[in-house]
């Protein structure tokens, strides 16, 4: 969807003509007679501000239905509730740490088994499928090593075994990638990230490809109740108005930052799907509209937790914080932060080294971001030289 369509898919208020969507801060709605209402009866079931957000997100992703939740994890949780005890999931190994925690410590206890594989190789997905596989769960690109999986190829495999393909599209955003067009059944987003875009809210979104799945998700959303409140729906809608603008600038900045890091002596490897040397560059280019996202991760030649801590505590514009996708640049140390819930040996196996640092490029002037990184590399070099003397 282009910027014009996105902006004009957000309706003005039919009641008053207000150009921005009103915040319907209400828990309930007056009924003319029992069961006779104007489409809204109780705010857990539906709310007019939330409905606008849900409809807009469904359009953004080219899906049938949209559903807004209190957080990205609540959105993931709602999709997992489609499963029953005994069912299995095939999931990408480099999965977001919070999703891993939910899968392992909540759903495995309830009898759902998860097989983690490197989904960038389609054969690994085929090999991991059993007769009990009901969901294939991928993130593309992944958090934080930016692995890219072939969504169209995996969707064919999912269909052939009657499993649902779920794509966590948080890192690509609906601007770069629309997984339903590539054959996915369900998309989830941490709306906290690019869609909200200002690091001022937490939100989760689900988009379904079919009426049948929409009905199931609507039921789960109402039955479990983890909905997004009207004020946060308003902020998310406002974020969507500038999503195209922000995301493209963030992609541009990340491209410059990735190339800078790629030629730096102190860096051992750079993960950014826009680099031609990236293992999955070709498929990323094909399925992501030539946009590679605003996240770059890299590890240091001195591959230690201490070296990473030295780096992340000295930047000026890249603020040390969890999360990503906002207008202000952020950085984090996954081994101790976002992915701390993953045991070290599993973390290392999925490529998250001890010194791995994740950058989320904001919309600042890119020269300032580069000079921030340059200054920190120089500082560390000077400190090291002083220690040797
Ligand atoms: C890829 C991905 N999916 C889901 C989530 C969870 O979203 P939330 O933090 O909004 O619950 C995150 C959070 O970092 C994420 O990075």
Give pLDDT, residue 75. Answer: 98
pLDDT confidence bin for 389, thresholds 50/70/90? low
User: Is the confidence at residue 47, as pLDDT, over 80?
Assistant: yes
Is 193 a known active-site residue?
Answer: yes
* Residues near ligand 1 (Cβ within 6 A): 71-73, 96, 98, 139, 143, 168, 170-171, 190, 192, 202, 204
Decide: pTM greater than 0.85: yes
CA–centroid distance for 97 within its chain: 12
Give pLDDT, residue 343. Answer: 86
Is 44 a known active-site residue?
Answer: yes
- The average confidence (pLDDT) of the chain is 96
| Strand-strand pairing, 330-332 and 357-360 | antiparallel
Closest by Cα among 282, 265, 254 to 359: 254
Best mutation site among 100, 137, 143 for ligand 1 pocket (most ligand atoms within 8 Å of CB): 143
Active-site residue, selected from the candidate residues 93, 94, 168, 310: 168
- Cis upstream peptide for 141 (omega within 30°): yes
Give pLDDT, residue 25. Answer: 97
Give pLDDT, residue 159. Answer: 98
Q: Quote the CA–CA distance of 357 and 299 in Å, as a whole number.
A: 6
Q: Output the CA–CA distances (angstroms, integers) from residue 149 to 181, 272, 299, in the order listed.
A: 15, 14, 22
User: Is the confidence at residue 346, as pLDDT, over 90?
Assistant: no
Q: Are 365 and 257 in contact (CB under 8 A)?
A: no
pLDDT confidence bin for 385, thresholds 50/70/90? confident
Tens digits of residue pLDDT in 74-122: 999 999 999 999 999 999 988 888 999 999 999 999 999 999 999 999 9
Tens digits of residue pLDDT in 2-29: 999 999 999 999 889 999 999 999 999 9
Give pLDDT, residue 387. Answer: 66
Best mutation site among 79, 192, 228 for ligand 1 pocket (most ligand atoms within 8 Å of CB): 192
pLDDT confidence bin for 133, thresholds 50/70/90? very high
Give pLDDT, residue 219. Answer: 98
């Amino acid at each position: 969807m282009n910027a014009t369509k996105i902006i004009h898919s957000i309706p003005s208020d039919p009641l008053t003509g207000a150009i921005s969507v009103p915040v319907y801060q209400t828990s309930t709605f007056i009924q003319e007679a029992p069961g006779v209402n104007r489409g809204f009866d109780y705010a857990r079931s539906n709310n007019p501000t939330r409905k606008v957000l849900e409809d807009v997100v469904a359009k953004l992703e080219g899906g049938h239905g949209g559903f807004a939740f209190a957080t990205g994890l609540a959105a993931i949780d709602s999709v997992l509730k489609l499963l029953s005890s005994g069912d299995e999931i095939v999931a990408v190994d480099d999965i977001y740490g919070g999703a891993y925690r939910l899968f392992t410590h909540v759903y495995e206890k309830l009898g759902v088994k998860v097989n983690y594989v490197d989904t960038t190789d389609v054969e690994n997905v085929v090999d991991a499928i059993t007769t009990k596989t009901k969901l294939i769960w991928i993130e593309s690109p992944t958090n934080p090593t930016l692995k890219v999986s072939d969504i169209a190829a995996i969707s064919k495999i999912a269909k052939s075994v009657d499993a649902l393909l779920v794509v966590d599209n948080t890192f690509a955003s609906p601007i770069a990638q629309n997984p339903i067009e590539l054959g996915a059944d369900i998309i989830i987003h941490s709306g906290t990230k690019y869609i909200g875009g200002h690091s001022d809210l937490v939100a989760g979104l689900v988009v379904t490809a079919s009426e049948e799945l929409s009905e199931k998700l609507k039921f789960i959303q109402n039955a479990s109740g983890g909905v997004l409140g009207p004020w946060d729906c308003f902020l998310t809608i406002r974020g969507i108005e500038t999503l195209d603008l922000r995301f493209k600038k963030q992609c541009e900045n990340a491209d410059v930052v990735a190339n800078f890091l790629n030629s730096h002596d102190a860096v051992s490897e750079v993960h950014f799907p826009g680099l031609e040397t990236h293992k999955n560059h070709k498929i990323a280019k094909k399925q992501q509209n030539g946009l590679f996202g605003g996240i770059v991760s890299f590890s240091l030649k001195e591959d230690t937790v201490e070296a990473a801590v030295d780096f992340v505590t000295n930047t000026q514009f890249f603020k040390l914080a969890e999360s990503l996708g906002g207008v202000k640049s952020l950085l984090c140390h996954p081994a101790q932060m976002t992915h701390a819930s993953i045991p070290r040996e599993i973390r290392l196996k999925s490529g998250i080294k001890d010194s791995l640092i994740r950058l989320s490029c904001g919309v600042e002037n890119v020269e300032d971001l580069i000079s921030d990184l340059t200054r920190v590399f120089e500082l560390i070099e000077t400190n090291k030289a002083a220690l040797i003397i």
